[in-house]
């Protein structure tokens, strides 16, 4: 992760953008849109949140977009993703769903100063009439982090602004429990590789149960990612993990909020 930069040496690519500028994809050398996948709350049988997932302008896979992100456009892309997700979610009526959140992935290496980089996001919540306290920012644990203090400052600022925070893909990346010891998010998402066939794998069961206990003691909501079978879902519910995301419930819907009902 890059060291936070002072205002005197911020390169042009990192000049803070307003909401309107972030909506202008002509500032990027490529176009993109969003798909949305629900995170289900099985206790309420309704979405706890919808995660915004980057896609090509015609629904192409995320890799076709992310492969074009580089050091020159990373900041603009990160800012544009936030505004695009809020704009689409508002247009699709997500704010009208009871207590449903919008989860947005962010690139910590694209944030040079949290209080400045969040301005376009907060402006977008006003522009598109989306409650800012129902936005959750996810950072992937799979991204190599060389400046833990910088990421903690981002999380602290987002909390101060009334935003939720989450660590994504927990258990698959570089930091693991060390990251969790440095800062505690509102939500922790267990990587799908730990969820796969958890109902019949004693090793995965022990690891997931341990994570669940830690989160319970730290008052962190726990989400299981990549749930694909009823057997996995049932076992996770027995552990008290009622927030679940995966193809069992719905695949990502391009520019839509897929109907997330339990399969009978």
Q: pLDDT for 172-195, tens place per residue?
A: 765 578 888 888 999 999 999 999
Q: Which residues of the chain have pLDDT under 50?
A: 1-14, 19, 21, 260-264
**pLDDT for the residue 173:** 65
**pLDDT for the residue 36:** 97
Q: Which residues contact 208 (CB under 8 A, 6 or more apart)?
A: 190, 194, 195, 198, 224, 236, 239, 241
**In degrees, to the nearest 5, what angle opens at C-alpha 49 toward C-alphas 46 and 50?**
110
Q: Are strands 135-140 and 46-55 parallel, antiparallel or unpaired?
A: unpaired
**pLDDT for the residue 139:** 87
Please give the Cα distance from 234 to 188 (Å, whole number). 19
Q: Which residues pair with 40 in a beta bridge?
A: 47, 244
**pLDDT for the residue 9:** 39
Query: How far, in Å, are 2, 20, 141, 219, 250 from residue 216 at the CA level?
Result: 33, 41, 20, 5, 27
**pLDDT for the residue 181:** 86
DSSP one-letter code for 3: P
In the chain, domain spans: 15-254
Write down the pTM of the prediction.
0.87
Domain 15-254, CATH class in plain words:
alpha beta
């Amino acid at each position: 992760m890059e060291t936070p930069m002072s205002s005197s040496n911020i390169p042009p690519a990192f000049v803070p953008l307003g909401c309107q500028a972030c909506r202008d994809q002509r500032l990027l050398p490529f176009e993109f849109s969003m798909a949305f996948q629900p995170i289900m709350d099985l206790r309420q049988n309704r979405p706890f949140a919808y995660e915004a997932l980057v896609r090509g302008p015609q629904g192409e896979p995320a890799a076709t977009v992310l492969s074009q992100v580089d050091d020159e456009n990373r900041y603009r892309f990160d800012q544009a993703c936030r505004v695009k997700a809020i704009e689409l979610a508002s247009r699709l009526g997500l704010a009208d769903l009871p207590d449903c959140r919008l989860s947005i992935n962010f690139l910590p290496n694209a944030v040079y100063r949290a209080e400045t980089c969040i301005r376009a996001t907060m402006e977008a919540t006003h522009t598109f009439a989306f409650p800012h306290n129902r936005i959750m920012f996810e950072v992937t644990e799979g991204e190599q982090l060389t400046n833990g203090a910088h990421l903690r400052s981002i999380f602290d600022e987002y909390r101060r602004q009334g935003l939720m925070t989450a660590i994504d893909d927990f258990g698959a990346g570089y930091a693991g429990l060390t990251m969790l010891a440095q800062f505690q998010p509102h939500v922790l998402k267990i990587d799908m590789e730990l969820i796969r066939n958890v109902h019949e794998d004693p090793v995965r069961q022990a690891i997931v149960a341990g994570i669940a206990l830690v989160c319970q003691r730290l008052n962190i909501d726990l989400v299981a990612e990549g749930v694909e079978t009823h057997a996995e879902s049932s076992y996770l519910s027995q552990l008290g993990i009622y927030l679940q995301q995966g193809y069992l419930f719905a695949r990502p819907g391009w520019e839509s909020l897929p109907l997330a009902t339990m399969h009978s």
